[in-house]
Amino acid sequence: MLRFARFQIFLSAALLVVFTVSHAQTPQRDSRPRTASVSGRVTIAGKPGVNVKVALTEVKDRPGLGTRISIRPPGSDFGGDHVVLTDAEGRYRVTNLPEGRYEAQVSLGGCVREKPSPNDPLIESFSLDEGESRENVDFALVRGGVITGRVTDGDGRPLIARAVSLQGVDDQGRKMMARGSQTPMNLVMDLNRYQTDDRGVYRIFGLRAGRYLVSAGGESDIFTGAAGRYPRTWHPDAADENQAKVVEVTSGGEVTGVDIRLGAVKKTYEALGRVIDDETGKPVAGASLACFRVKASDEGAAIDGLGFGGFGGNAKTDEQGNFRLAGLAPGQYQLTLANFDSFLTGGGNYYSEGVKFEINGDDVAGIEVRAKSGATISGVAVIEDADQSAKSSLSQLMIMAQSMPASPSEAGGNAVAVAKTPAFSRIGSDGAFSLKGLRPGKVMVQAFSATGGALKITRIERGGVDMSEGIVLTGREDITGVRVVLEMSKKNREEK
């Protein structure tokens, strides 16, 4: 049976999203009393962080409509509602604040937290009541490590704008996602990836001390738009991940010469088609698509490499419903609608059963994806036995729903398509959410935070009936009145 955990792995490995959404509205005059304040200290290796920029931003409600994504490229400056510099003791203080929810962020790209934290980005979230003086919003940091090297082709020529992927390796040899501090904080498409410059040189900084694997080529080049496809290669020139050389990084240290020599370039191909409404046959404009390379397995199809589409590339339909996918290597693929932007737009009402196609020495045309109207689940998320400060965390959360078939046969042989297309909804300040475009099947629901908050779902109910094991959809019905109950983790309670 296809497990929901499979999508969790995909989400954390290829689509960890952190969004800052600003209102596209005319600002209203703020007449709230400004009697609150916040203060803290920044230290680097135990010493005061002097003249460090700290930005304080009020986190207002982020509705699904009338918003835009603010994307900050790596290395760019950052702003906030209030920006201050630390003094000679590394201390900062911001006064004359209204009550509300806030994020404090430190601008020190080469540093990491002294101790590992679920909230690994240099951001602290908190709430202020009227007249409150919040103290000890501190940042204990150390200098991060650096990995740098060069990516070349088989003849030693530099490869420009090539994606470089980074994996952490723990003491048991298990591999995990890793990130450097130059990764964009507002919108992270894939925290594993970095790019080479015009010399073929890459430099990943702000790394926590540890052991890493570095690779280039393979599916990762789809995201950069670089010409030509190379087989994935691990430092220094291993085609097999098990033969990769582990790179040891120390706090504040720099490891140079981590070079990667790629093999012969592979010819790539295109896939063209269109998306139409399953009932009317009319084209569907602006539909996002996800394409995944697959291989045969006991479950019918298994993921074989990273997917792409949704947020990047040329995987969105035009006004006539046409799409074009480029840079495809020979192999079998699964193509389906992807509702990745549903947390911004409120979600489309479509899903698809997916289409399989094969690249075999030529381009493929005439692919048709049929978009079907899906069901809707709406309701409210609540935090039980929590104070107002904890309840304010709701608007920092998202609800994600995944329709899971009982077996690959019930997915029409397209289990991968089902596993890869979730629906998202932001949770409003009143706890309301709405998940759209859901396919028939058992729907599993999860909550996750845009800022690393530690909230989890304890139960899901409707009309007093426990639905924590899944909400069964048989068609395009609207399921209303769903209540998602969350609680704070032990760690979060202790910090409060």
What's the length of the chain? 496
Please determine whether the domains at 32-142 and 269-367 fall in the same fold group of CATH.
Answer: yes
Architecture of domain 145-261: Sandwich (2.60)
Domain 32-142: which topology? Immunoglobulin-like (2.60.40)
Question: Strands 100-106 and 269-277: what pairing?
Answer: unpaired
Residue-wise pLDDT tens digits, 147-162: 999 999 888 999 988 8
Query: Tokens in use for 51?
Result: 């003249």
Domain boundaries, the chain: 32-142, 145-261, 269-367, 373-495
The encoded tokens of residue 433 equal 């959410």
Residue percentage of the chain with pLDDT more than 70: 68
Q: Look at the domain 373-495 and name its fold.
A: Immunoglobulin-like (2.60.40)
Per-residue pLDDT at 405: 59
pLDDT class of 54 with cuts at 50, 70, 90: very high
Q: What pTM was estimated for this model as a whole? A: 0.58
Place of tokens 């591999």: 175
Environment class of 284 (CB within 10 Å of its CB; exposed 0-12, middle 13-18, buried 19+): buried
CB 2 within 8 A of CB 9: no
d(CA 368, CA 316): 14
Question: What pLDDT sits at residue 29?
Answer: 66
* Phi and psi angles of residue 74, each rounded to the nearest 5 degrees, phi first: -55, 140
Instruction: Tell me the pLDDT of the chain averaged across its residues.
Output: 75
Q: What is the pLDDT of residue 223?
A: 46
What is the pLDDT, as a whole number, of residue 415?
47
For domain 269-367, give its CATH number from 1.10.579.10, 3.30.420.40, 1.10.3720.10, 2.60.40.1120.
2.60.40.1120
Q: How confident is the model at residue 411 (pLDDT cuts 50, 70, 90)?
A: very low
pLDDT above 70 for 348: no
169-179 tens-digit pLDDT: 888 888 876 65
